[in-house]
Amino acid sequence: MRRPITALLLAAAASFLPALPAHALFDDDVARARIEELRKKVDALAKQVDERMARVEDRRALVDLAAQIEALRADVARMRGQLEVLQNQAETAEKRGKDLYVDVDTRLRKLEQPKESAGAPDKPAAEGVSAAETKAYEAALNQFKLGNYPLAISAFQGFMVTYPSSRLAPSAQYWIGNAHFAQRDYKQAMAAQQRVLAAWPEDAKAPDAMLNIASAQDALGDRRGAQKTLEGLLAKYPQSPAAASAKQRLTQGAKK
């Protein structure tokens, strides 16, 4: 681009020279001096043009760079906003999960206390339950109480394989679901409690299984599903202790 400009300047300069014959032009020292002087002026002018064009190009580069920087700043601001939203959602979900776990844990401890005072923690010391079944069941339950949830799940599963027809099988399956819930594996918790409802819908653990399902749904953000489960619990097991908890949760949910 710069060479054509220089050529044009030289051509323009040549047009100012007097029209002389070729032999006269190159024999005349004055003409040569004028040509040299004019060539210097043209070179100087071309240099100025080149410098100005370079400055213009530099300015354009700076403008482009400034635009890119502003775009990057906007992207950073947008990502920071998204990060704050995600952090807030994570903190809210964590708090909700802790509240739900505390609620479930408190309720389960209340459920166990009268049975432990009778000398048989969470087990019907009734006919049809052998000493071996009771021992295996208690070993698994102790793992849950110690917070060894993976071991508790394995122990309860082993109990159900060994004693599939035991009267303690519904309770074993129920505690498997609670162990998953304690590990925040809410989908597995729901699946485990659904097995309680499918296999032993009339067992005393069935209402609590539904309550645990509602808690898992709530923890997963499925508020509508949790509400339907609680309403179903009230309709199917209205006299159960779990129904009272379900009613309380529905009342609290209606106030929000």
Query: Does residue 125 register a pLDDT over 50?
Result: no
End-to-end CA distance of the chain: 71
Under 8 Å CB-to-CB from 233, ≥6 apart: which residues?
A: 207, 210, 211, 214, 240, 242, 243, 246
pTM confidence score = 0.55
- Specify the pLDDT at position 39: 78
Higher pLDDT, 104 or 160: 160
- Specify the pLDDT at position 53: 73
Burial (CB < 10 A; 0-12, 13-18, 19+), residue 16, is exposed
- Specify the pLDDT at position 124: 44
